[in-house]
Homo-oligomer: A and B are copies of this chain.
Amino acid sequence: MNIGEVAATYGLTPDTLRYYEKVGLIPRIKRTSGGIRDYSEYDCGWIDFIKCMRNAGVQVEALVEYVKLFEQGDSTSSVRKDILVRERNRIAAQIAEMQSTLDRLNAKIDRYEQDIIPVELGYLI
Residues of A within 8 A of B (CB): 41-42, 45-46, 49, 52-53, 55-58, 70, 77-78, 80-81, 84-85, 87-88, 91-92, 94-95, 97-102, 104-106, 108-109, 112-113, 115, 121-122, 124-125
**How many copies of the chain does the oligomer comprise?**
2
Q: A53-B101, A56-B102, A98-B94 are in contact. Are A109 and B85 (CB under 8 A)?
A: yes
Q: Is the interface of A mostly helix, strand, loop or mixed?
A: helix
Contact B102 A92 (CB under 8 A): yes
A to B CB contacts below 8 Å, 8 in the list: A46-B125, A49-B125, A53-B101, A56-B97, A84-B112, A88-B102, A95-B95, A98-B98
Give bound CA distance, A113 to B112, whole Å: 49
